Structure 1
Amino acid sequence: MPFFIFFAAAAWAGLITSDFFHMQLRYPIDLTIEEYNEQKAWEHAELDHCPFHPEGGCDLARHGTYPRKFPEYCLVPRWYCPSAHKTISLLPDFLASRFPGTLDEIEQAVNTAGSCKSQEEAAFVLRPEISLPSGLRWLRRRIQYVKEALTILAGLLVTECAPDLESFRNKFRTNRVLIKLREMGREYLPSMPPIVGFGPRSGKRYCHPWVFQQLMGTVYARLMG
């Protein structure tokens, strides 16, 4: 089978994702998107060593930036490792991974859903310009990703928190729960699913189910240990 046909089939089956070419790492920066743009903070980002070759010698080099266009245009710094043939980007803490928007915006959407009488009402409040079915899909994706992050980190960190925003908000006294989760779970970010983590999505379209199952197995082991 020609390589390009095999590659396309593997990508369609979820055996190859964007991780095949690209790695995301955390850029721990306490700025809003407006402050980030005003200060051109991507120009000050530094990658101390290559994540693929911590011993060095791979000629890691800056590789420009790539844009995030929503909710506001901003640039994400990027490096390239010629030995691994991969790019590495530093994602600012305020941005959701592999998903449009900021963590604060997604958190606010889930908060709104929790304060409304129904998801239908919340979808209309948040996205009145689109149809109700589209608004519900938009909202439910965000609820799903937030619930995954809360459930995983509640288990990994043994926080004695229910997997909901209000419990985490009260325990850690913060109104920016998702950003706090990325900071607290930094050790697990490479394998955690979006929007907080940098791993693949848990759906079959993006990766095999065992990736997500392995992470949940770690959660179970922590809780039982």
Structure 2
Amino acid sequence: MSISSRTLAGDQPRERLLRLGPGALSDAELVALVAGIESQGRDDVAVARELILDCSGLRGLAAAFPEELTRSACIGLTGAARLIAAFELAGRATDAPTNRVMDSAAAIAALVSPVLARERREKVLVLVADAANRVLQVVPVATGGLDSSPLPVREVLHAVLRYDGRAFALAHNHPSGDPSPSVQDREATAAVGRAADAVGLRFLDHVVVAGTTWRSVR
């Protein structure tokens, strides 16, 4: 029986959520609602439960790639996008480091580690800051494969200027588990530093995160 065909209106997850709050719903019911699952002839919540199991739980679901989510016949690109967006919003609400001060490489690593720890592919973040090095915005500018990601200098500078930044830092993850900066990391960091100097921005540092460890590239 699907969500839309439940006999009692009060038993529908949407109505229970509105009446009692999200805590009244199971994980599978929340996933079914967020993804907009509407299976043909099957229980929508059962389909969502299978999806959670296929991903080895909610943590795995939160880190799943679109192609992994759409393996289910009942999850299309729209449903996958909804789930990814929901987990991203939840992560931002929990981890948002705005107004915190970047006064050292360790402080930068502490700000980005909770965000990058969820990533299974390399992701490059720009931490845009004001003149006092307080974080204004954290902006992803590139996502790569399992072991590499480009560092687009133009996108980095555009992100800083777009949010009226005066200073910025970079961070990216190494899914391999080794935070040691590569030769490419050092070359790209030097290129960003030169570009920042040319437009009058302060480039604070570039940190590589791998699990609970990190290294400064500069």
Instruction: Report the TM range for the smaller structure's normalisation.
Output: under 0.3
Larger radius of gyration: 2
Q: Please, what TM-score do these two structures have when normalized by structure 1? A: 0.26
Q: Please, what TM-score do these two structures have when normalized by structure 2? A: 0.26
Higher relative contact order (CA 8 A, sep 6+): 1
